Structure 1
Amino acid sequence: MMTMTTRGPLFQPRETFPVSYCRRKTLEVHCDNSQINRHLAVPKSDSSKSPELCFNRLQLTDQECYGLLRRNFGRFAAREAVLDEEYWTAAWLRAEAHWESLLYMRHIDSYKRKYAEQEFYALKRRCSGQDGNSLKCFCFVAVKKEEKNIRRTVLNSVVGTLDLSIRQFLHGETYPGEVKRPTTVLASQEPFDAHKYAYIANVCVSKFARRQGIASNMLYLATDVATLAGTKELFVHVNAENNPAQELYKKTGFKVVEAVSSPLSKDQRLLMSVEL
């Protein structure tokens, strides 16, 4: 089921405790405090602008998410991130994915925290339009659906994330990152929208929630939003050795752009695209 509207006013055993919430109903709040305290400390960098993150904050209700672009599937829903805690959890998922194959390293938790902090602030800048590299950037999250009489914290609700950015080709750039003569001048004197394209990055799913259609449904939502933004093509870079990711993108309609993709390239990445 796909619900598209205009945008409006927007780990394993768990500790369970009752709280009073709206009309004095008793609900269950699921929160693993040990995980929060050990791994998800409030970012300390850029302290002058640090938001006050509340790691016991409850997941937004469907009513509170009314008006957001949303895609429902199975026990989950994909939508745009709203809360700072959702941005932070998205950043943490990316940190875990980045260091997943290096868990044997000493001080790995410190590396992940540092990575998550940097990604959190970079993500907020991108989505607020402060980085100057995109016309618009969205952070999508996949969350567990609301259940009757049960409220989850944001940390125990977000299970996946990806970024979608709407960009403009530069002069001499025919594919993302492929510029023959680097310049900041826009593509040509044709209409501005004629050279817009969409780009996907940072697709991550919690390892405890994989193989449930989360990544593919986030991609479908990103495709719909990119279409609504008036773009004609959606791109993504993928590691040449990452066969599961390539199969995921092919399943959702992407094809390898042969003109610029080569396993022998410097960064060993393939460019894939889908026409919208």
Structure 2
Amino acid sequence: MNSLAKPLQRRGILLRVTPPSTLRNRHCFCKAQIAQLRGNSKVKSFTIRPAESDAELRASATLRAESFYTYPPERSFAGKIHQIMKGDEEFEALKEQRDLREAGQPNQKSACLVAVCPAESMQDVQDASSLQIIGDEALLGTLDLYAIRAMPGEVLIGDCSNPAYLANVCVAKAAQRQGVGRELIHSAVDLANQWRTEALFVHILWVNDRARMFYESLGFRVDKEESSNTAHYRGHCLEGIEGRGRTLMLRRDLP
């Protein structure tokens, strides 16, 4: 599983968000966000930056569609069509958010972060052919960060006056277990601190033990848990079982 957080439910909802001044100068934000990895890592170094160009947003949207929507082999053809459709929807949503950031909306902030590395450095890595390419770079992972009161489509809301939320956290298969996800979260924490938010929250599926352990290793703790009845009435199912798709919300307090 290469998705580390639930996908943001966007249907019928338009988030009106604007970036902080730090995102105006992408190089200023990125200069300290270059991870140098050692040992047997397949990915020796990569850069984390805010995504703004159409190419960056398209690659991010495609990776998310491939991460959050998977299908059995007998449905591979129909599944691929569905992934393309979901990728197109996500791309349009990301462009709308970018346009709203550029227009400027007061008191709300967002960022789409991407982890990229030189594409040529991934040529000999297994599953490298599935990586999304942006010019001469390969996309390794992506996430969204929002400073808003509550996330659309979620019933669990952070109990603080100035929360931030992670969403759409995913890492490409070829780059998993290389520290990409951890560095993306570290960058999101840094940015949330720059926004002066009080705590960082993320929603995950209750059954996603891997994601829970990942976030707990980064200082998050379980804050709230959706009941089976609530998940049932919202129609959330997993593997055909009503209520099995219930949500956990994790929290990390920020200094």
TM-score (norm 1): 0.62
Alignment of 1:38-117 (within 5 A): 66-69=27-30, 70-73=32-35, 74=37, 75-105=45-75, 106-117=77-88
Q: Shift in Å at residue 208 of structure 1?
A: 1.1
Residue 157 (structure 1) aligned to one of 135, 138, 141: 138
| Paired residue total | 196
- Which blocks of at least 5 consecutive residues in structure 1 are unaligned? 11-65, 171-175, 180-186, 188-193
The residue matched to 1:248 in structure 2 has which SS? helix
Alignment of 1:254-265 (within 5 A): 254-258=220-224, 260-262=225-227, 265=230
Please tell me whether the aligned partners of residues 70 and 79 of structure 2 are also in contact (alpha carbons under 8 angstroms): no
CA–CA separation in structure 1 for the residues paired with 2:205 and 2:150:
22
1:70-124 deviation line (CA, Å, top 9, x unaligned): 5221211211113210110000000101223445314222111110000001112
Q: Shift in Å at residue 153 of structure 1?
A: 4.9
The residue matched to 1:168 in structure 2 has which SS? coil
**Paired position in structure 1 for 2:193:** 227
CA–CA separation in structure 2 for the residues paired with 1:124 and 1:229:
22
- Bigger fraction of residues in helix: 2
The residue matched to 1:271 in structure 2 has which SS? strand
1:174-205 deviation line (CA, Å, top 9, x unaligned): xx6347xxxxxxx9xxxxxx822100000111
**How much identity, in percent, do the aligned residues show?**
29
Please tell me whether the aligned partners of residues 263 and 270 of structure 1 are also in contact (alpha carbons under 8 angstroms): no
Please tell me whether the aligned partners of residues 71 and 79 of structure 2 are also in contact (alpha carbons under 8 angstroms): no
CA–CA separation in structure 1 for the residues paired with 2:94 and 2:185:
18
Larger radius of gyration: 1
- Computed over aligned residues only, the root mean square deviation of the Cα atoms, in angstroms, reads 3.3
Q: Shift in Å at residue 145 of structure 1?
A: 5.1
CA–CA separation in structure 1 for the residues paired with 2:72 and 2:191:
34
CA–CA separation in structure 2 for the residues paired with 1:98 and 1:6:
30
**Paired position in structure 2 for 1:62:** none
TM-score (norm 2): 0.67
CA–CA separation in structure 2 for the residues paired with 1:169 and 1:264:
21
